[in-house]
Chains A and B, each alone.
Chain A
Amino acid sequence: MKRLINLIYKDFLLLVRDKAGLVFLFVMPLVLVLVMTGMQEGALESATKNSISLIVLDSDKDEIGLTVEKELQEKDMFDVKIADASMTEAEVQNLVRKGTYLIGVYIPENTTAKIQGNVQKSIAAAFAGLPASVTEGKMDTVSIKVFLDPTINSTFRTTLMSYLREASNQIENEYMFAKISEEVNERAMLPMGEFSLSAAQPVGIEEITYSNHDDAKANFDAAAHNVPAWTLFAIFFIVISLSGSIIKEREDGSFARLMTMPCPYSLYLLSKVIVYVAVCLAQFLVVMLMGKWLFPLIGLPVFDMHGTFFYCLIVVFCAALAAIGFGLLISTFATTHQQAAIFGAVSVVILSAIGGIWVPTFLMPKFLKALSMISPLNWGIEAFYGLILRGGSFVSVLPQCLLLLAFAAVCFVISLLAQGKKSF
């Protein structure tokens, strides 16, 4: 025990005296979490909060025009400007071309009247017992024009088009039912009351997000992804520091000297494991505290673990063992510090990229999604999602934890076998 304590003391001193290493271990993840959360939150906000400038030129000034104006103004996504009646279609188009507005909506004159006319023709023909083909070619063309800046992505386009269709369809349907009621009242013995689509009870669409959290606030936001994601990245980045420390001790002979002393290799490794697990837990705490206390102060979403702190610590512990095993494996096969640093950094960046650290896996194409399953960082982030977002119990994330532990065990066994072959 005394030997182990002294080895831990040695590894601790070597770690804290390596100032550049400490910056690497603690400052890098903080900066990454801050920058990535800020960037992603900015992107998410731009998708939801009045960031898309939109100009509406309503030349209709009737029901359709007013409804579209109202509908768009009610959507948080758009910063709506109602154009002066004196403006022309070309001027609106020009404003979008210049980039003054990202979207321009032009509702031509008499749009409402044309829709009403079309409905009337269609209903009259139907009640006259004529086939639908009779009205073909006799209908007025009705179209609302939408001018789009090329930077508008497909999600915004789809959303906007769907708003406009919904608004115009509703009004068209209202007219249709009103006209049908009118016709029926004229012809039927029993008069039909006024029918209003808007007064009818719409089909309710209930949104249920699967989460066991009582507070039901577990949303996928930039903090919920980035805090655990970059903590895992930092945890796996210790492979550089760990393998570097092992190789340095091997190169300067202090490792060999320890092996000539009453110091088993297992004790040497255990000391490294304890020190680096402590580093990983500290990394998590630092990043987590930043997410909890600093994020709200600078306008970023709060990182909330919804009471799963201790389970998260267990996930961090499992990820730390996996990272330490990986670092040990690299140090076993790398012959120089440079080799270990390059291989360690590149492999962790690749594993993190395919593991859903940079971009969540649900945004990845199918083959990358499948590939992500082999990344230990993916197991880690899925375990965090399971606890923080889905409110799962620890049992529900046990498979991911076991995968991390199995990965660690495989790395340790290969390293020990290879080291055993090399000497003693």
Chain B
Amino acid sequence: MSSAILNIEKLTKSYPDLNKQVLTGLCLKVEKGEIYGFLGPNGAGKTTTVNIISGLLKGDSGQIEMFGRPYNENRNYIKHHMGLVPQNIAVFPELTAYENLKIFGAIYGMENKALKSRIDELLELFGLMNFKNKKVASFSGGMKRSVNLMVGILHKPDLLILDEPTVGIDVQSKMVILENLKSLNKEGVSILYTSHDMEEAQHLCTRVGIIDGGKLVAEDTPSGLIAAHEGCDDLESVYLRLTGRKLRNMED
């Protein structure tokens, strides 16, 4: 049994319809308490990996352990202890922020009293208390992203998986979200975070892994990666050196 909160061994996944092998033996380990940046170009296999570990897809082969437990035999336990913030705003736009949080919280099995107090806490934290009874459809992009994030952290997960949580929002909203992620991490929440924003990853992540062609091509702390690549002075230049400058337009 591994000490890692997430341990992926030799994970493969192909899409026969597309004649495409997306993951080609991915090995990835997220230790407890870290913010792991999972970076890679479009089509590298990030979202496929996230979909497999969140239970939306089945891998072809390989092993996954979460919280020290084999994935397939402990799905229910894992779902209770994992939080997912997908790239899309995956909430019900016709419901209010409060109703969304209440329904998702109840699905996690949270008790009414604890749920209400947690919802208030999060609404306060993200500055949305005055908007709690407004429909999410009427929110700005940043506010929607905040609700999207709140749903993922509502039940205080041990591992939070974020798939590009700050894409398409203004700087102010991005700052609020990143600050809250750091606070969560300080509270003990481990984070697996995918992004295309290298600057954001460099400042937020304690460790990053760069995936290309369905497997990790580099893994270290941001400073360790920069130091290991001569002539690179930031994570973006390391990333470009490792993944190339060729245009990728294939979503995975």
Contact = CB atoms under 8 A, between A and B. Distances in A.
Contact of B90 (A6, A18, A254, A262): A254
A14 B95 contact: yes
Interface string A262-303: 110000000000000000000000000000000000000000
A253 B88 contact: yes
A384 B229 CA distance: 78
Nearest to A3: B107
Contact of A2 (B76, B84, B109): B109
A1 to B, nearest CB: 11
A19 to B, nearest CB: 11
B94 interface: yes
A322 B104 CA distance: 29
A259 B88 contact: no
A214 interface: no
Nearest to A251: B88
What does DSSP make chain B's interface, helix, strand, loop or mixed? loop
A6 B56 contact: no
B58 A9 contact: no
Contacts of A249: 92
B46 to A, nearest CB: 16
Contacts of B58: 423-424
Given A10-B95, A261-B79, A256 B86 contact: yes
Contacts of A14: 92, 94-95
Interface string A10-33: 100110011000000000000000
B55 A13 contact: no
B99 interface: yes
A51 B135 CA distance: 58
Interface in B70-119: 76, 79-80, 82, 84, 86, 88-95, 99, 102-104, 106-109
Contact of B106 (A6, A13, A257, A424): A6
Contact of B89 (A10, A252, A259, A423): A252
A259 B104 CA distance: 11
Interface string A129-172: 00000000000000000000000000000000000000000000
B57 interface: yes
B54 interface: yes
Contact of A260 (B56, B91, B93, B99): B56
A402 interface: no
B151 interface: yes
Nearest to B102: A6
A9 B98 CA distance: 13
Contact of A13 (B54, B94, B104): B94
A423 B58 CA distance: 7
Nearest to A16: B94
A262 B79 contact: yes
B55 A424 contact: yes
A364 to B, nearest CB: 43
Given A2-B109, A254-B91, A261 B76 contact: no
A6 B93 contact: no
A257 B108 contact: no
A9 B107 contact: no
B56 A258 contact: no
B99 A253 contact: no
A401 interface: no
A228 B89 CA distance: 42
A235 B94 CA distance: 24
Given A260-B55, A262-B80, A252 B107 contact: no
A256 B94 contact: no
Contacts of A5: 106
A7 interface: yes
Contact of A259 (B56, B95, B108, B151): B56
B99 A13 contact: yes
Nearest to B109: A262
A278 to B, nearest CB: 18
A13 B93 CA distance: 11
Nearest to A10: B103
A259 to B, nearest CB: 6
A253 B86 contact: yes
Contacts of B106: 2-3, 5-6
Nearest to A257: B90
A246 to B, nearest CB: 13
Nearest to A2: B106
Contacts of B151: 257
A423 to B, nearest CB: 5
B156 to A, nearest CB: 14
Given A256-B86, A257-B84, A424-B56, A263 B94 contact: no
A262 B56 CA distance: 13
Contacts of B76: 262
Given A6-B102, A260-B55, A261-B79, A254 B107 contact: no
A423 B56 contact: yes
Given A257-B84, A260-B54, A423-B58, A252 B90 contact: yes
B90 A256 contact: yes
A7 B107 contact: yes
Contacts of A6: 102-103, 106-107
Given A5-B106, A257-B84, A262-B108, 6 more contacts: A13-B94, A257-B90, A257-B151, A260-B55, A261-B107, A424-B57
Interface of B: 54-58, 76, 79-80, 82, 84, 86, 88-95, 99, 102-104, 106-109, 151
29 contacts: A2-B106, A3-B106, A5-B106, A6-B103, A9-B103, A10-B95, A10-B99, A10-B103, A13-B95, A17-B94, A17-B95, A18-B94, A252-B88, A253-B86, A253-B89, A254-B90, A254-B92, A256-B86, A256-B90, A257-B86, A257-B104, A259-B56, A260-B54, A260-B56, A262-B76, A262-B79, A262-B109, A423-B56, A424-B55
